[in-house]
Amino acid sequence: MEKKDLKIIFMGTPEFAVAPLEALIENGWNIIAVITAQDKLQGRGRKPKSSPVKDCAVKHAIPVLQPPNLKSPDFIETLKSYEADLQVVVAFRMLPEVVWSMPPMGTFNLHASLLPDYRGAAPINWAIINGETKTGVTTFFLKHEIDTGSILFQEEVPILPEENLGDLYEKLMQTGSTLVVKTLEAIAKDEIQPKVQDEGKALNHAPKIFKETGEINWNQPAVAIHNLIRGLSPYPAAWCKINDKTCKVFKSEIIATDGTNKEPGSFKTDNKTYVHFQTGEGVLSILNLQMEGKKRMDVGDFLRGNSLTA
């Protein structure tokens, strides 16, 4: 089937979904509509803020649907009226069957892990937090259970030792964009061979990140805390209490891996250049932080204007 003949609806919300949408448009695919989240009220003026995907669709004059309820009869009828052949989903909410089963050629999703590993809402975070050295992206057909559909294509991506969430997010976004285009081309040519996910292996999971997820437990080894910091930087950020104030930590360095007799959570500082925390195993140096009520800054800059009591 020719690109211009295949009618595609794209679903997504955050920046991660913009690159695949742009890639499809640039490659000449016929995106007949975009479905995204409703505008959110932000700032002191409570002005509506549209999603990155909506902004992209508007720029390219593509119709935008923002249903508050994906099961509402009005939305379902509107969706049917487009008579789409295929739906592409990237970083969107869970779809009801009446939506994902509607197009005759199916609905496929891009997921930021090598499925079946790291099913769930936060695969990029958890791959780093768990100290993985590789991850990737997967395209798969949707089915009832989340992230369990038959795999179409996968692309492996290395996780470098000091990469954080922001770094890996960018890499996976670009790799995912290429994979979405590859998947669409294969579906259009009827050259896909869907592969059922292996349910027999022990799987890592990627549940949603909450505030308590980011609380640093100094009894853990330095390497585990370092990975937590990497996996939550720049947002929402790992955090701890220093001198009874909440401190977000964005970058750290392991300076020793051997244990000492100091209490985990205790720290020492010269109040000029460093803050070193004792962990359950090893010592962690805090390199970039944001103390409650302050701006984010490197530790040296912070200490020049603020003193800490060890």
Query: Which residues lie across from 49 on neighbouring strands?
Result: 40
**What's the token pair of residue 206?**
């990627």
CA atoms of 91 and 88, how far apart (whole Å): 10
pLDDT for the residue 257:
64
Query: Which residues lie across from 153 on neighbouring strands?
Result: 139
What dihedral do alpha carbons 252, 258, 261, 267 form, nearest 10°?
-10
pLDDT for the residue 256:
77
Read off the pLDDT band of 47 (50, 70, 90).
Answer: confident
| Mean pLDDT to the nearest integer, 48-63 | 96
Residue 232 annotated as binding? Answer: no
Let me know if 206 is exposed, middle or buried by CB neighbors in 10 A (0-12, 13-18, 19+).
buried
Looking at per-residue confidence, does 231 or 146 come out higher? 231
Tens-digit pLDDT profile for residues 236-276: 999 999 999 999 999 999 997 665 668 999 999 999 999 99
CA atoms of 88 and 36, how far apart (whole Å): 12
pLDDT for the residue 202:
76
Instruction: Please state the pTM of the whole predicted model.
Output: 0.94
| Domain-wise residue ranges, the chain | 3-188, 211-305
Residue 161 annotated as binding? Answer: no
Residue 3 predicted with pLDDT over 80: no
Residue 115 annotated as binding? Answer: yes
pLDDT for the residue 1:
62
**What's the token pair of residue 207?**
């549940």
pLDDT for the residue 44:
75
Mean of all residue pLDDT scores within the chain: 94
pLDDT for the residue 261:
64
Residue 180 predicted with pLDDT over 90: yes
Read off the pLDDT band of 220 (50, 70, 90).
Answer: very high
Residue 234 annotated as binding? Answer: no
Considering the segment(s) 3-188 as one domain, its CATH architecture is 3-Layer(aba) Sandwich (3.40)
Fold designation for 211-305: Methionyl-tRNA Fmet Formyltransferase; Chain A, domain 2 (3.10.25)
pLDDT for the residue 41:
83
pLDDT for the residue 8:
98
Looking at per-residue confidence, does 243 or 36 come out higher? 36
Lowest mean pLDDT among 35-49, 87-101, 109-123, 212-226: 35-49
CA atoms of 103 and 10, how far apart (whole Å): 12
Provide the percentage of residues in the chain whose pLDDT is more than 70: 97
Residue 37 predicted with pLDDT over 90: yes
CA distances from 62 to 10, 25, 30 (A): 10, 10, 10
